[in-house]
Homo-oligomer: A and B are copies of this chain.
């Protein structure tokens, strides 16, 4: 039996990267679970940012940011970056996270994150108290240790943290269920 729960912004699951803007000397960072790819021509992502976020002004003035995918050992840092404002604390100094220069943007990437993306803002759309920022993905980075022999990301080695809205929980990724573009053929073959 299905029950109506009312309108709520719930997609299960969500990613939970740390978005970094600014520069090596003046970095800003916040955690976002409202982010995803939306197009591949060119590779584009969107991120919904509350207008009151200190990072938003930096992202819009520089037109650049990075997206840093954390693993479970960074869960305290992820939560801290999501709940404390950059106007109230030097978040990078307090966490001790290490910043590295990117290749195509001035915004730094977080060395402790095993996968990161460099992004350039292409347009913005206002939705109530939020700005949805569209950005082209200019570069991606992965740690040597998470690449397999073919140079592809080994998801078990990346071990991305997962966010569950509503319950407000961070989870690990679980085991593989099936290969995409493959397991559905069992249904096609019935036709």
Taking Cβ atoms with an 8 Å cutoff, the residues of A that contact B are 1-15, 17, 33-48, 67, 69, 72, 75-84, 89, 94-95, 100, 103, 109, 111, 115-117, 122-123, 125, 127-130, 132, 134, 136-144, 147, 151-155, 158, 160-188, 190-191
A140:B2 contact, CB within 8 angstroms: no
Given the interface pairs A2-B143, A165-B37, A190-B94, the reply to whether A75 lies near B171 with Cβ below 8 Å is: no
A184:B13 contact, CB within 8 angstroms: no
Number of copies: 2
Bound-state CA distance A174–B172 (Å) is: 5
A79:B183 contact, CB within 8 angstroms: yes
Contacts of A80 in B (CB 8 A): 184-185, 187-188
A184:B143 contact, CB within 8 angstroms: no
Contacts of A140 in B (CB 8 A): 4-8, 10
